[in-house]
Amino acid sequence: MEKVSRVATPLVIGNWKMNGMLAASGKLTRELVALLAEHATCEVVVCPPFTALLSVAGVLSAAKIRLGAQNGYPAEKGAFTGEVSMPMLRDLGCDYVLVGHSERRQHLGEDDGFIARKVRAAVESGLTPVLCVGESRAVRAAGESERHVLRQIELGLELLPSEASFVVAYEPVWAIGTSLAASAQDASAVLAAVKAWLCKERGIREQAFRLLYGGSVTPENIAEFTAQSEIDGALVGGASLSAETFAAVVVGAARGYLCTSK
Ligand code: PGA
């Protein structure tokens, strides 16, 4: 039985982080395009580093895989040395931009106010923001995961223009790059609370957003996540750096999505 309330296809986003010289990024993209040429049951996005966006965009131009950026600055232009604006990302062919990844919150001191401005700037530039949220190990141990994540979302979406489309990626910090993925049931419970909050508290239409899980996603565990009715896809780090592995994640995501968890 198909889950009729869900959007038609799952969304799988590869976050390459700070990996890939030009030649390697081009090779990875070409391999992915070849492996996923026949695959139409997933929306696939890759987020290369800034330096590879233009060349990857060229390889993707005739393919169905879409382009995303890992970050963007919340001003259109001006004296912000070293930054890249959302309109510049759009100009390069990006459709998506990650916002508020925990690595940026942790290592670059990004706070919720700054993240909220990025979400708004992304939408205003025609990009779909992927707001990343997730609790630390300590917060989880204190039983505060849900409260923490809802608060991050409340603050992160504070400036969201009405009627905007967006994505929320729930990525527990303790699950990122550790091989310790959350259980599909736990991730689904958090995302169910997120969905309820977005629809009931914020009055946002269910069709306006998609909810992803991220954190040590692999070809082996992806189907368990997408089989959950609250999980629309995944944000994938390490497993997106090999074309074969990422293609296997994409195929697994589609397989899980078609199963019912009930
Ligand atoms: P991981 O990273 O899949 O390597 O755990 C996920 C992310 O940071 O987006």
Q: Where are the domains of the chain?
A: 2-260
**In angstroms, what is the span from residue 81 Cα to ligand 1's centroid?**
28
For residue 154, the Cα-to-chain-centroid distance in whole angstroms is 18
> Between vectors from CA 259 to CA 196 and to CA 131, what angle results, nearest 5°?
40
Burial track 151-167 (b if 16+ CB lie within 10 A, e otherwise): ebbebbbebbeeebebb
pLDDT at 3: 45
Residue among 222, 235, 240, 241 whose CB has most ligand 1 atoms within 8 A, to mutate: 235
DSSP annotation of 227: T
Q: What is the pLDDT of residue 40?
A: 79
**Tokens 């401005």 correspond to what residue?**
117
Dist. CA 126–CA 140, nearest whole Å:
35
Gap from CA of 78 to ligand 1 centroid (Å): 32
CA count, 13 A, side-chain hemisphere, 74: 18
Gap between the terminal Cα atoms of the chain: 10
Beta pairing, strands 166-170 & 128-133: parallel
- Secondary structure (DSSP) of 152-198: HHHHHTTTPPTT--EEEEE--GGGTTSS-PPPHHHHHHHHHHHHHII
The predicted pLDDT at position 1 comes to 38
Check whether domain 2-260 has CATH 3.40.50.2300, yes or no: no
Structure tokens at 81: 């040395």
What pLDDT is attached to residue 6?
Answer: 61
Contacting residues for 126 by C-beta, under 8 A, at least 6 apart: 90
Q: How far is the CA of 212 from the centre of ligand 1 (A)?
A: 12
Q: Is 172 in the pocket of ligand 1 (CB under 6 A)?
A: no
Nearest CA to ligand 1 atom 3: 237
pTM for the predicted model, two decimal places: 0.96
In testing the pocket of ligand 1, which one of 47, 70, 167, 176 has its CB within 8 Å of the most ligand atoms? 176
Is residue 39 packed enough to be buried (19+ CB in 10 Å), middle (13-18) or exposed (0-12)? Answer: middle
Instruction: Identify the residue whose C-alpha is closest to ligand 1 atom 2.
Output: 237
Catalytic-residue membership of 39: no
Active site residue 101: yes
Query: How far is 231 from 227, CA to CA, in rounded Å?
Result: 7
Nearest to 56 by CA among 238, 47, 15: 47
pLDDT by residue for the chain (262 residues), tens only, comes to: 344 456 679 999 999 999 999 999 999 999 999 999 988 789 999 999 999 999 999 999 888 999 999 999 999 999 999 999 999 999 999 999 999 999 999 999 999 999 999 999 999 999 999 999 999 999 999 999 999 999 999 999 999 999 999 999 999 999 999 999 999 999 999 999 999 999 999 999 999 999 999 999 999 999 999 999 999 999 999 999 999 999 999 999 999 998 854 3
